[in-house]
């Protein structure tokens, strides 16, 4: 029940936003109401006479309408909303649906909780001229056919001079009138201890649908199927599983729907919705995003960590240490059932420090962008994505089902301080070991992500701290072989200048190099000696031969039987840093003669 309790806490903390429309935001619905999209607005005068109508743009903000327990979760059955509804309920063509609406609406109009706007609407509907008026004003046409009956109508009543907005969906007094009317009807419902609030109250018989707008009709709580295998042998009735009060259910579902609708708390990946928020409304970073949203460019590890620390302190100054942060992940296996696939509650200070720790370890130089931490989405795509063309560019894109699962895994790792999954490390390493099949932009991105992931993985598993600058004396066989691969590549590229479409032997043989490094290194060096070194100026040739000799001296310090064993993932870090070092301005000056040769 933690999720529902935190959702209610969120609703109570934002009660000032209830029923208030803010441009660009979804409105927070009052109890007993839902937020939906209207299609037609009909304007009446105080006597219920038709004054006009208009079609509402499909991009217009959603509006608040009253709803009963049954109508808020209706699907295919007959169940009318109390005021605003589809034409098939308001027009007399479908007798059964129209009667259901009129009975319920008349009961509200004739109760002690009636509202001045209700009588004009009732009078108008009794004339049964709604379709005739809409056709006459050309708001709807015969060509729309069956789609007409699904159009939802909202009301505007003018001429009452009561100081309230003429639009029914903006009238706070109308919201309260329905709540009082429905509360009176709720008195007949069974009363029990609510398992969320702990108070004795009327029990909810049904719960709203569409909690997460992305999933349409899917319900978070459902118990309307009493046949088959619904209770899986555990219960004989739904109230044996959980009893939640109507008020608690309404607050919780309205708050979750509000959070999932453009409040800055949500992110959707592969159809799975990730919510991350503070119940009191304090701004928190999204758990799926990098900690520094727009990091300054820096090539120094110390500067990056300082900037990361400043970001942490900035969030800490705005988020009290005792404040809660809630992470909830939702998915729908079917159109009717919504699953909570991951849930965490953390203290704000703990949450922020966990994001900081992840980005402090999972980071690497990213060319001209400086040291960065790759986003979780970027990691998943580099590990599991398939090559696709998008607007003339080649990208990596992961299948939605795989994307949603892997994003949740990484979110859980990040907020639980769990180790980087070894299968993800292996996947990005394997991809970075066949660079020749990717274009240069994808190649750089894959290498950046792979090195950042490996750096974090090696620290967590072996307590190794990997510097983000070249260490020529590094006592790691794979690292030194990675340096050697970078030198082989650069030496061959120098012989044909800026022709990046031509792949060096080092890159074409990278996969073999990973498995049999000494064997592949011998073949590549032989090719360099025969075909490429002779084309270099003496200064450049000596420069590369000197580097190769230094690296071979480092490798020879390891037992001979290890020289040709498969490389570990750390060879990519040596490759990346050595290659980066070779392309810096200082070394370009050293090899200027070779590049012009």
pLDDT in tens, 144-203: 766 789 999 999 999 998 889 999 999 999 999 999 999 998 887 788 899 999 888 889
On the question of pLDDT at 587 being above 70, the answer is: no
Q: For residue 248, is it within any domain?
A: no
Going by C-alpha positions, the residue among 516, 530, 528 that lies closest to residue 562 is: 516
Q: Report the C-alpha gap between 102 and 90 in whole angstroms.
A: 8
pLDDT at 498 (0 to 100): 58
On the question of pLDDT at 590 being above 70, the answer is: no
pLDDT at 337 (0 to 100): 85
On the question of pLDDT at 458 being above 60, the answer is: yes
| pLDDT per residue as tens digits for the range 352-409 | 999 999 999 999 999 999 999 999 999 999 999 999 988 888 999 999 999 999 999 9
Q: For residue 98, is it within any domain?
A: yes
Residues 564, 486, single domain; the answer is yes
Is-contact 503 540, C-beta < 8 A?
no
| pLDDT per residue as tens digits for the range 302-331 | 999 999 999 999 999 999 888 999 999 999
| pLDDT per residue as tens digits for the range 216-252 | 778 898 765 566 555 666 777 777 777 899 999 999 9
pLDDT at 414 (0 to 100): 97
Q: Report the C-alpha gap between 423 and 418 in whole angstroms.
A: 14
Residues 463, 475, single domain; the answer is no
Q: For residue 328, is it within any domain?
A: no
Residues 87, 107, single domain; the answer is yes
**Which parts of 129-212 are beta strand (E)?**
152-157, 191-193, 200-202
Q: Report the C-alpha gap between 163 and 64 in whole angstroms.
A: 19
pLDDT at 586 (0 to 100): 44
Q: For residue 424, is it within any domain?
A: yes
Q: What percent of the chain has pLDDT over 90?
A: 76
Residues 491, 392, single domain; the answer is no
Please tell me whether the overall predicted TM-score, pTM, comes out greater than 0.85 for this model. yes
Contacts of 463 (CB under 8 A, 6+ apart): none
What is the three-state SS of 530-596?
Answer: HHHHHHCCHHHHHHHHHHHHHHHHHHCCCCHHHCCCCCCCCHHHHHHHHHHHHCCHHHHHHCHHHHH
Q: For residue 199, is it within any domain?
A: no
Is-contact 483 402, C-beta < 8 A?
no
Q: Which domain holds residue 289?
A: 280-323+346-469
Residues 289, 372, single domain; the answer is yes
Q: Report the C-alpha gap between 174 and 185 in whole angstroms.
A: 17
Residues 295, 424, single domain; the answer is yes
User: How many domains does the chain fold into?
Assistant: 3
Residues 355, 405, single domain; the answer is yes
Residues 465, 480, single domain; the answer is no
Q: For residue 109, is it within any domain?
A: yes
Residues 172, 42, single domain; the answer is yes
Q: For residue 47, is it within any domain?
A: yes
Last residue of a domain, one of 434, 469, 504: 469
pLDDT at 591 (0 to 100): 45
pLDDT at 232 (0 to 100): 64
Residue 360 has a CB neighbour count (10 Å cut-off) of 18
What pairing do the DSSP bridges indicate for beta strands 393-397 and 386-390? antiparallel
User: Could you give the angle at which helices 422-432 and 376-384 cross, rounded to 10 degrees?
Assistant: 60
pLDDT at 206 (0 to 100): 86
Q: Report the C-alpha gap between 414 and 357 in whole angstroms.
A: 9
pLDDT at 563 (0 to 100): 96
Average pLDDT for 22-47: 94
């Amino acid at each position: 029940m933690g999720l529902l309790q935190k959702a209610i806490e969120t609703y109570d903390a934002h009660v000032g936003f209830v029923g208030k429309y803010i441009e660009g935001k979804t409105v927070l619905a009052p109890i007993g109401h839902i937020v939906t999209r209207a299609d037609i607005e009909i304007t009446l005068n105080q006597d219920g006479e038709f004054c006009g109508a208009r079609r509402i743009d499909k991009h217009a903000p959603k509006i608040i309408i009253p709803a009963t327990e049954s109508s808020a979760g209706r699907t295919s059955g007959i169940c009318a909303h109390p005021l605003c509804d589809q034409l098939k309920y308001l027009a007399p063509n479908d007798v059964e649906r129209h009667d259901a609406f009129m009975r319920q609406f008349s009961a509200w109009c004739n109760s002690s909780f009636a509202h001045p706007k209700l009588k004009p609407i009732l009078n108008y509907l009794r004339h049964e001229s709604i379709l005739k008026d809409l056709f006459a004003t050309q708001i709807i046409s015969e060509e729309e056919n069956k789609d007409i009956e699904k159009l939802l109508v909202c009301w505007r009543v003018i001429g009452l001079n009561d100081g309230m907005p003429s639009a029914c969906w903006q009238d706070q007094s109308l919201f309260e009138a329905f709540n009082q009317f429905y509360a009176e009807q709720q008195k007949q419902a069974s009363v029990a201890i609510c398992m969320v609030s702990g108070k004795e109250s009327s029990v909810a018989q049904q719960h709203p649908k569409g909690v997460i707008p992305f999933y349409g009709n899917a319900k978070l709580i459902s118990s309307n199927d009493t046949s088959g295998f619904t209770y899986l042998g555990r219960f004989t009735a739904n109230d044996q599983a959980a009893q939640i009060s109507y008020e608690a259910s309404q607050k919780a579902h309205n708050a979750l729907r509000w959070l999932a609708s453009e409040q800055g708390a949500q992110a959707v990946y592969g159809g799975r919705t990730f919510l991350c928020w503070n119940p009191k409304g304090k701004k928190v970073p999204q758990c799926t995003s990098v900690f520094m949203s727009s990091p300054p460019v820096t090539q120094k590890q110390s500067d990056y960590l300082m900037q990361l620390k400043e970001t942490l302190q900035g969030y800490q100054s705005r988020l009290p240490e005792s404040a809660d942060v809630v992470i909830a992940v939702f998915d729908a296996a079917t159109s009717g059932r919504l699953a909570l696939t991951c849930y965490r509650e953390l203290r704000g200070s703990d949450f922020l420090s966990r994001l900081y720790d992840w980005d402090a370890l999972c980071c690497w130089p990213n060319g001209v962008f400086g040291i960065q931490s790759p986003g979780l989405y970027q990691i998943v795509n580099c590990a599991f994505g398939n090559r696709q063309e998008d607007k003339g560019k080649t990208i990596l894109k992961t299948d939605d089902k795989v994307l949603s699962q892997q994003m949740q895994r990484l979110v859980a790792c990040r907020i639980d301080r769990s180790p980087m999954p070894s299968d993800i490390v292996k996947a990005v390493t394997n991809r970075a070991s066949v660079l020749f099949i990717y274009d240069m932009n994808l190649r750089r991105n894959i290498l950046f992500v792979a090195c950042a992931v490996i750096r974090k993985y090696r620290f967590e598993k072996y307590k190794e701290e990997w510097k983000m600058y070249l260490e020529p004396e590094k006592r790691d066989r794979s690292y030194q072989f990675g340096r050697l691969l970078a030198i082989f590549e650069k030496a061959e590229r120098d012989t044909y200048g800026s022709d990046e479409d031509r792949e060096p032997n080092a890159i074409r043989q990278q996969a073999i190099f990973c498995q049999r490094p000494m064997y592949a290194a011998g073949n590549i060096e032989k090719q360099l000696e025969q075909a490429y070194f002779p084309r270099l100026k003496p200064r450049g040739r000596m420069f590369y031969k000197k580097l190769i000799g230094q690296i071979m001296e480092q490798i020879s310090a390891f037992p001979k039987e290890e020289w040709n064993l498969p490389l570990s993932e750390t060879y990519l870090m040596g490759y990346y840093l050595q290659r980066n070092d070779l392309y810096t301005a200082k070394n370009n000056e050293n090899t200027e003669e070779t590049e012009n040769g």
